[in-house]
Amino acid sequence: MYEEYQKKGIDMRENSKVFKSIVLVLAAVMIAAMFSACRVDLSGYETVIFGEFEQDGKLENGQEPLEWIILERTADEVVMATKYGVFAKDYYIGSTKKGAVVSWDDSSLRKWVRNTFYKKTFSDEQKKYIIDQEFTDEVTGKKLKDHVSLLTVEEARKYFPSDKARLLEETEYANLSKAYKNTFTQSGWWWLRDMGEKEGSAAFVNSFGAIITGGNYACYEHALVRLIVHIKPEALQQ
């Protein structure tokens, strides 16, 4: 058959090369489109600076200005979430023990947010503009008041309506704290404030942007921390 095509002046080997080239180009385009479709999309959000926190992992040059994305703005307050995962940390130490009761109230992550993040990130002047978030802990029943907290499942759905919007990239500092990163989406997974459906777990957003209410064991140290804060509008006019 090859000889018949040669008589007709058709070089099958050359055509085969052209065909392979076309296939490779199409494959490259498809792969690029797939990667683009699975990257974080925050195009509809406004980014602002509020506070400072370590991000580049170079402690010797001090903290860097912290970026937040605005989730909601009213005449009385602005609701914001950190643009990047700022750290990697467990939610609750010892959560894999049989019968362990996990709650945000006395979690190791809440202690870190209150005693480390809040104190290091905001100046005394900036703290004056932060509006406390008041809610009842779903496990202990205690009425809590947090300056800074995690998003709830409901807030994650409300403020980030798509999986792409919920993808979360990390800072270099978070990477150095052993944060997990999905090499396909370039996103980590991050904790939500709600308890998970299984014992000893907390809800989270996975590295593909899906909300997992079933939860993951709260002792895992590789989850990113994304924070939410409510501030007075005039704080952004300083």
The answer for 224, left when phi > 0, alpha when psi is -120 to 50, beta otherwise, is beta
How confident is the model at residue 46, as a pLDDT?
Answer: 97
Q: Are residues 128 and 186 in contact, defined by beta-carbon separation less than 8 angstroms?
A: no
Angstrom distance (rounded) from CA 59 to CA 215:
33
> pLDDT band for position 10 (50/70/90)?
very low
Strand order in the sheet with 190-195: 190-195, 201-205, 211-217
The whole-number pLDDT of residue 170 equals 96
- Is 10 or 167 the better-scoring residue by pLDDT? 167
Helix (H, G, I), strand (E, B) or coil at 33: helix
Asked if the model's pLDDT at residue 98 lies above 50, the reply is: yes
Cβ proximity of 89 and 177 under 8 Å = yes
The pLDDT assigned to 99 comes to: 63
Length of the chain: 238
Residue-level pLDDT at 38? 65
Mean pLDDT for the stretch of residues 174-187: 95
Domain ranges, ordered by start, for the chain? 2-37, 47-237
Task: Read off the pTM.
Answer: 0.83
Dist CA 226 CA 204 (whole Å): 11
The pLDDT-based confidence of 34 (bands split at 50, 70, 90) is: very low
Cβ proximity of 139 and 53 under 8 Å: no
Range with the poorest average pLDDT among 16-25, 40-49, 121-130, 139-148: 16-25
Please answer whether residues 41 and 162 qualify as being in contact, where contact means their C-beta atoms are separated by less than 8 angstroms.
yes
Mean pLDDT, the chain, whole residue set:
87
Bridge partners (DSSP) of residue 178 are none
